[in-house]
Amino acid sequence: MTVEAHVLADLEADIQAVRRYLATNTQPRPLHEVEEEILAVTMKLGRTMLACYVEQVGTGYVGLRHTDKAGVVRRYHSTCERLYRSIFGPVPIPRAYYFHPKHGGIYPLDEALGLPERCYSLLLQKWVALLAVKNPYGDGLDDLSRMLGVSVPKLSAERILADAAQDVASFREDLPAPPGEGAVLVIEADGKGVRMTKPATAEPPGPKMRLKKGEKRNKKKMAMVFTLYTLDPEPLTAPEPKNRKVYAFLGTKKAAFEAIKAEAEKRGYGNRPTLFLSDGDKDLATLPAEFFPQARPCVDWIHVVERLWTAAYVFHKEGSAEAAAWVQQRKDWLLAGGIGTVIRGLKQSLTKGKRRKKSHKETLQAVITYLEGVRERVPYDEFWQAGYPIATGSAEGACCHLVHDRMERTGMRWKEAGAQAMLDLRSVHLNGEWDDFWRHKVKREHERLYGRSAQAAA
């Protein structure tokens, strides 16, 4: 297919502009200014080259009839133009349209060029999605416009993310276990609230009512946050995680555990020793037993120690050396397997010695109840001796990096579908899988649009 003269003329004009620029800029001046000017020239040249390529490959016209892979014969109907929004700017693409009254119409060129469903190029979509998972939509889109001069509306960016997130589940299914795994698998779990938008029908029309004490306009929905990693334990040392990956789910806790179980099985659950670390949440005591019966449970050390500090301030002044010594002694008991000793001592404080205020008794009783509830999940002596972790710092870090840093900024409110899409794509990014995921997404979209036998865009 020969290239139309006007397209070649545009390309030659851009090339001449480059030559003139180089010929007229011969004196020293700030290089960053030159760099910015060259970028503008290059972007214009790139758009012209892309238009030239489109013109060269033609419209997809193959005659008055077109036969598809299934043997359906369609008649040529017309040539229609589609605007393709590339990283260089918009480029019109004329495409031959073939129609069958029963089977509908197709544009053969769409499949040949691997055109996406949306008007934005898949490369531009990749950049938009990456900027959006790292920063608020407005900030990322402003940066894109400032750097490339390409504008993408916020609503379009949200739809791009929603489209991409549909392929995260299949990507995770296809992704093999990472190489270089350690001998022991560790699963850590924690919860992080995400502020949700209130349904439109939840508040009557008219002036906003004053909130009651403790009431909030936007409630939070708890996301279950998991980290998975392996390690090679060394006794009495803090182990170094291997292949740490993060995940977060806004659905039910059972659904979250079902999803993470699939990832854990891929990483060796059932075939290698497994630890499950969490805080003292009741659901995180029962659900691991249901989904990971072969895993050894352990309650986060920091959560337990915080309860000890609460009790210490019943007996000693806050911030005192006596309170610190009291806590340290009980930490030593816990690390020696003495949870029973700690509980007995607290119980005796309720019935023996000096009389205590009602509020102090309630505080001690709450600590005792908590410790008794986690009594079977504090194997700190065994874990420390074996070189296993005893704290959920990895999961708490994921709550911060995966959820809070992007989704808990001032004024942010989320709908559940959009929040889950963000969590899915952000986890892919934080797990270092973005480029692999995007190749998977491009392949899946091509299959949805053009069938599994069409792999041109993969």
| Residues near 308 by beta carbon (within 8 Å), at least 6 away in sequence | 327, 330, 331, 342, 367
Distance CA 445, CA 111 (A): 11
**Cβ contact 59:109 at 8 Å:** yes
Pairing of strands 242-249, 220-231: antiparallel
Q: Is 122 helix (H, G, I), strand (E, B) or coil?
A: helix
300: its two tokens: 């986060």
The amino acid at 296:
R
How many helices, marked H, and strands, marked E, lie in the chain? 18, 9
User: What is the CB neighbour count within 10 angstroms for residue 346?
Assistant: 20
Distance CA 357, CA 364 (A): 11
| Residues near 274 by beta carbon (within 8 Å), at least 6 away in sequence | 184, 185, 186, 187, 264, 268, 292, 294, 295, 296
6: its two tokens: 């006007």
Distance CA 121, CA 272 (A): 44
List the domain boundaries for the chain.
Answer: 1-57, 179-199+217-299+398-414, 303-376
Each residue's pLDDT, cut to its tens digit, for the chain (458 residues) gives 456 677 778 888 889 888 998 999 999 999 999 999 999 999 999 999 999 999 999 999 999 999 998 999 999 999 999 999 999 999 999 999 999 999 999 999 999 999 999 999 999 999 999 999 999 999 999 999 998 899 999 999 999 999 999 999 999 999 999 999 999 999 999 999 999 997 765 556 666 656 565 555 568 999 999 999 999 999 888 888 999 999 999 999 999 999 999 999 999 999 999 999 998 888 888 999 999 999 999 999 999 999 999 999 999 999 999 999 999 999 999 999 999 999 999 999 888 767 788 899 999 999 999 999 999 999 999 999 999 999 999 999 999 999 999 999 988 999 999 999 999 999 999 999 999 999 999 999 999 999 865 443 33
pLDDT of residue 350: 86
pLDDT of residue 437: 98
**Cβ contact 128:140 at 8 Å:** yes
| pLDDT, tens digit (0-9, with 9 covering 90-100), for 396-437 | 999 999 999 999 998 899 999 999 999 999 999 999 999 999
CA angle 341, 345, 349 (to 5 degrees): 170
Helix (H) or strand (E) holding 221: strand 220-231
- Nearest Cα to Cα of residue 393 among 255, 244, 260, 259: 244
**Cβ contact 345:371 at 8 Å:** no
CATH 3.40.50 for the 179-199+217-299+398-414 domain, yes or no: no
- What b-and-e string marks burial along 255-274, b requiring 16 or more CB atoms within 10 Å of the CB? ebbebbeebbeebbbeeebb
